Amino acid sequence: MDSTIRHTLWGAFTVLTLLVAIGLGLTVTVLQIGRRQESRIVHGSEPLLDAVQAMNDDVRALLGASRGYLLTQQTQFLQQYDDAVRDFQRQSVKTNQLASSPQETQVVSKIGKQFADIKGLTDEQIRLAREGRFGNANEYMLEAARLQRSTPDFADSLADQRRRQQDIDLEQIASLRQGLTLVMVVVSIVIVALGGYTVWRIEQSLRQSINREVRRTEAMIAGMSDGVMVVDREGKSVYINPAGERLLGQSQVGVPITQFGEVYSLRKEDGGDVDARELPISQALATGKPIMDVTMMIARDEKKIAISVNATPLKEGRRITGAIVTFRDITERQRLEEELQLQAERAQILADAGAFFSSNIEPVWVTQAIAERVAEVLGDWSAVILKTPDSNEMRVASIYHRDMASLGLAWSYIYRQPLVVGEGIIGQVVSTGYPAMISNLGSASTGVSTQENVTSYHAPTMQLASLLILPLRTRRQMLGALVIAANDPERRMTDDKLPLAEQLAERAALAAENAKLYTEQVEARRKVEDLSRLKDEFLSIASHELRTPVTSIKGYTQLAKTLIREQDLATSEEYLDIALDQIDRMSRLILELLDVSRIETGRLEIPHEPLRWLPFVRDLVHHHHTSVSDRRFHLNVPDTDPVVVGDRDRLEQVVGNLLENAVKYSPEGSEIFVDVVDKGDHVVTSVCDRGIGIPNDELNQVFERFHRGRQVSSTNYGGLGLGLYITKQIVDRHGGSIWVDSKEGSGTTFYFSLPSAAVPVIDAARPRREAVQAVTQ
């Protein structure tokens, strides 16, 4: 042990002896203080009693202010009310501090409870008075007064407790005064004896203890995983533990603090050079305060290590003798924190995107929302490409660019790409289901030029820093592709952004599919409703159409039966002919229903046989001319004699339906034109009337089942609305097509085309136009 410690210990012994002497003198002083304490005990209760009395006064002031407000409605009483509450709270804090026994604390608590109860009543009284309910407020005022009067006088109770406690305290002080004098004498003697022995023992053990602690501290520091450096008061390094040597890459000591950055390769967190005054060690030595958790970099051997530095000053009294610096490698921790932050940001982006995508179910809105949100998060612009159902064609559903001035260039670029599955980079992604990412675009193969070329929009071509194309697919099907492009190199797509882009594509595909399913559901519901409506209309029309001929048949057969009994055979035969016509009408209706059933179940058979078309059409027109005498039919045919292949009966049904419609919806005495045009590989036949025509908005519905025009009355125009539907199905099954041209009030022309079976034969003897006119009587 050095002389400094020895002198310090013996100095402590001397001081201890002096303290004992001083203690004896203080004993006398304590006795005198005890006498004064007696006086304070006697008078110490006065502040508490005064505070309690003030609290009672505050309760009365509270009641007075609430009563004054009830009677006068003057706001100054509310101010007095608030002053009483605040003063009571101050006195309550004071009494809690002055209370020295559980009994006093209990009394103070009761006063507080009384005040709270009264304040609750007066608060309700004031609220009712403000609302003008003075009768109820008066009841609360009386209840508060009764509660105040029923409460005992806490000040008197507390005074009695104080007097009893004073008597007990005075007796205890007298006893303690006598014992204290004796104890101080004995303790002083013992302290002097033990002090000398203790100093000698401390001198012997301190030497061994200090040596052990030094060795233990050195072992602990050497075994620490954190780097440790000790610097002296001048800022020179004097010790570095093994972990610190590994982090710093060297063990050099004696380095002045001004050269730490150069010798130990220390840098700022951002990699910049560090000034010696900015080092945590310098700040700890300068301020005498610990500097904690400062992030710095060790840049050595082209490797950067992030470290967290703590510097703690070493003091002897108020004098700083040096500093101890600990530092640890936090490179992996920083990497994990950055990764966690990135994952959190991605999770938030995905959550926001999912909510944004699902905020509307309309397909157009959803695709536009996908493009907008993706472009805001990744790249500069985005496009949604959707595959056309049952086709390899694709279409651009939406495009969004963060810079609206460049939106046209984005459209231009997309439309320069082949929008066909399997063709071009977009088509390949849709075909294979694998994403494609291209960086540093500019080659001709990508469709983007680095030169100042001009597009068809007379604008410079778009410069792309990266292009990422992701498939939009669900479990059920491939929907299309999501294009993410970056013009700014700072926003180019990189491999670390690919997982986020793929997850956005998954959510986008799900949103697009949901929108599609919603649309299909709405359309299916509409079709079901339409079918239900058509079914009801059909049942109504069918029952009417079938009931009418049945009624006619029954009526005319009964009349014929009566006339036969009367031997009027001529008239009865006429009635029977009418009944037979109604039977034919009913048969046609039933056959139409059977045809619809065969069409819907796929059992409508079409045998194919060659058919010379001109004689076939001519016979049908002649038949209708003979059966309908109040219409004039005009037939226009070509010089050739085309041949079609099909079912003669079904084709007769087609032409017959069109001729019957022309007769039904045209006025008496009007003309009906039938034209046949040979187009070489197909034959076009048309039937034109000058009837009521079809509204423009119903042209697309005329070939639907049970459709009847809104201007067509079931009373004036019979039928089930199945003729044109059956006609179209027959033409379609012959490989042909049918269409209509009409203007409401100006007549209608139906066209249907059938494939030709062979090259037609020219017949020069046949006239180009034939006219068949009704024979008038």
- Identify the segments of the chain with pLDDT beneath 70: 1-9, 12, 19, 23-24, 26-46, 151-167, 169-170, 174, 176-177, 210, 214, 338-362, 440-462, 534-549, 552, 582, 584-586, 588-589, 591-605, 627, 706-721, 758-777
Judge if pTM exceeds 0.85. no
Report in angstroms the alpha-carbon separations of 394 from 63, 386, 409, 426, 431: 85, 6, 20, 10, 11
Give the model's pLDDT for residue 443: 37
Separation between Cα atoms, residue 107 and residue 113, nearest integer Å: 10
Q: Which helix (H) or strand (E) holds 755?
A: strand 748-755
Looking only at the bridges linking them, the beta strands covering 671-678 and 632-636 are parallel
Backbone angles phi, psi at 225, to 5 degrees: -80, -20
Strands (DSSP E) contained in 543-653 are 609-612, 632-636, 640-641, 643-646
Cβ count near 20 (within 10 Å)? 18
Separation between Cα atoms, residue 130 and residue 137, nearest integer Å: 9
Give the model's pLDDT for residue 378: 82
> In the chain, what are the domain boundaries?
3-41+174-215, 44-151, 226-329, 343-522, 605-772
User: What would the pLDDT profile of 483-504 be if each residue is shown by its tens digit?
Assistant: 988 888 888 877 777 887 787 7
Give the model's pLDDT for residue 702: 82
Strands (DSSP E) contained in 380-435 are 381-387, 394-401
Geometric angle at alpha carbon 529, from 536 and 696, rounded to 5°: 85
What's the fold here for domain 343-522? Beta-Lactamase (3.30.450)
Separation between Cα atoms, residue 309 and residue 320, nearest integer Å: 20
Residue 454 DSSP symbol: B
Question: Domain 226-329 classified CATH 3.30.450.20?
Answer: yes
Give the model's pLDDT for residue 278: 82
Give the model's pLDDT for residue 674: 94
What's the fold here for domain 44-151? Four Helix Bundle (Hemerythrin (Met), subunit A) (1.20.120)
Separation between Cα atoms, residue 386 and residue 541, nearest integer Å: 44
Instruction: Return the HEC string of 321-375.
Output: EEEEEEEEECHHHHHHHHHHHHHHHHHHHHHHHHHHHCCCCCHHHHHHHHHHHHH
Q: Which CATH architecture has domain 605-772?
A: 2-Layer Sandwich (3.30)
Separation between Cα atoms, residue 185 and residue 176, nearest integer Å: 14
Geometric angle at alpha carbon 664, from 660 and 669, rounded to 5°: 105
Give the model's pLDDT for residue 570: 81
What is the DSSP code string of 202-224? Answer: HHHHHHHHHHHHHHHHHHHHHH-
**Matching fold, domains 343-522 and 605-772:** no
